[in-house]
A and B are shown apart, each in its own frame.
Chain A
């Protein structure tokens, strides 16, 4: 069963606060390389693609999802506790 970015990002308190991803984006955004869901990392304010181990920045509220601007994460970063994984809700596809 495929998890959508939205299910990985859905928060109970809504969106658009303090660097959160608006629902409209969470609904459709995927990793431009793998086309798989993205995860939002609160600590760095970036979007993480676990599928390829790449992180994409968000600058001035604009997600920068150009493939060549993605940063390869090293093993430490991937396992970092600083990036809170947001739990999926029951609306999984």
Chain B
């Protein structure tokens, strides 16, 4: 009976029943987890690092904050937030700060345990003591396991396009943020710049899946990646969705002509 009433959603260019999407996405990321970082560097020619730096500077982390990074299993964003807070703290030693560094908590939530394990391992390699400042939770962006109004900040980097119901993820983000809390999303977006768009398409559809094959031994996952980017709402549409979730002062910044965009909003 469910078949008659099921809704289809997009998985790259394939239409799949909703229940299947998260399972298929899960498989993609179990497959990609181990070569994730390397592929990110190759595909973006190292630029993803700068994009994440930009995301963090827009976030403006402060010591004592409670921050939630969703779909960030391998820890890229979480480590940056922590490092930024540490540097702010050291500068503030000269002055006075209302919060102490000790209260800082970064929560990393990911639907995929493999990604989280990679993140945990990297954390210990960087010398972060277990459970100090960083917490790792397996969870669903559409149904977060965090209390209402518990977070000062929420980030999702290159994760929201993999969510089955984007609106749910956005309303959950709104729910867990405190009043005054900031929402930030870094995601691959739409390029409209003439000529550059054509070059980008060729790069996406020809080069990336081939790279995936060569480096990660997985053409299909990267084919999915490229297709999922095209199916994701464009900058304006996504900004509208963020507003509909209740956020105020919604804006976006295009990087590299729209290859990526950082959307932000405030919970008033």
A15-36 vs B, Cβ < 8 Å mask (1 yes, 0 no): 0100000101101111111010
A contact residues, total (Cβ < 8 Å): 26
Q: Hey, which chain A residues are within 8 Å of B146, CB to CB?
A: 28-30
Interface of A, secondary structure class, is: mixed
User: Quick check: which of B3-11, B74-82, B129-137 contacts chain A, the rest being far away?
Assistant: B129-137
Is B86's CB within 8 Å of the partner chain A?
no
The contact of A28 among B113, B138, B150, by CB within 8 Å, is: B150
Question: How far apart are the CA atoms of A14 and B89 in the complex, in Å?
Answer: 26
Q: Hey, which chain A residues are within 8 Å of B175, CB to CB?
A: 35
- Contacts of B109-145 to chain A: CB distance below 8 A: 111, 113, 116-117, 120, 130-131, 135-140, 143-145
- Are B145 and A30 in contact, with the CB atoms below 8 A? yes
The contact of B135 among A22, A30, A38, A64, by CB within 8 Å, is: A22
Q: Hey, which chain A residues are within 8 Å of B192, CB to CB?
A: none
Q: With A16-B131, A28-B66 known to touch, is A62 a contact of B148 (CB < 8 Å)?
A: no
Is A66's CB within 8 Å of the partner chain B?
yes
Q: With A16-B131, A62-B113 known to touch, is A25 a contact of B147 (CB < 8 Å)?
A: no
Is A65's CB within 8 Å of the partner chain B?
yes
Q: With A22-B135, A35-B148 known to touch, is A60 a contact of B117 (CB < 8 Å)?
A: yes
Q: Hey, which chain A residues are within 8 Å of B107, CB to CB?
A: 24, 28
- Are B113 and A31 in contact, with the CB atoms below 8 A? no
Q: Hey, which chain A residues are within 8 Å of B144, CB to CB?
A: 32
B contact residues, total (Cβ < 8 Å): 25
Question: How far apart are the CA atoms of A22 and B117 in the complex, in Å?
Answer: 18
Q: Closest residue of chain A to B146, judged by CB?
A: A28
The contact of A25 among B116, B117, B137, B138, by CB within 8 Å, is: B137
Is B105's CB within 8 Å of the partner chain A?
yes
Q: Hey, which chain A residues are within 8 Å of B151, CB to CB?
A: 28
Question: How far apart are the CA atoms of A67 and B111 in the complex, in Å?
Answer: 10
Is A39's CB within 8 Å of the partner chain B?
no
Q: Closest residue of chain A to B109, judged by CB?
A: A65
A44-80 vs B, Cβ < 8 Å mask (1 yes, 0 no): 0000000000000001111111111100000000000
- Are B147 and A66 in contact, with the CB atoms below 8 A? no
The contact of B145 among A27, A59, A65, by CB within 8 Å, is: A65
Residue ranges of A at the interface with B (Cβ–Cβ < 8 Å): 4-5, 16, 22, 24-25, 27-33, 35, 38, 59-69
Q: Which 3 A-B pairs have the closest CB atoms?
A: A65-B145, A32-B145, A32-B143
List 12 extra interface pairs beyond A65-B139, A66-B143, CB under 8 A: A22-B131, A22-B135, A28-B107, A28-B150, A28-B151, A29-B147, A35-B175, A62-B117, A62-B136, A63-B137, A64-B113, A66-B111
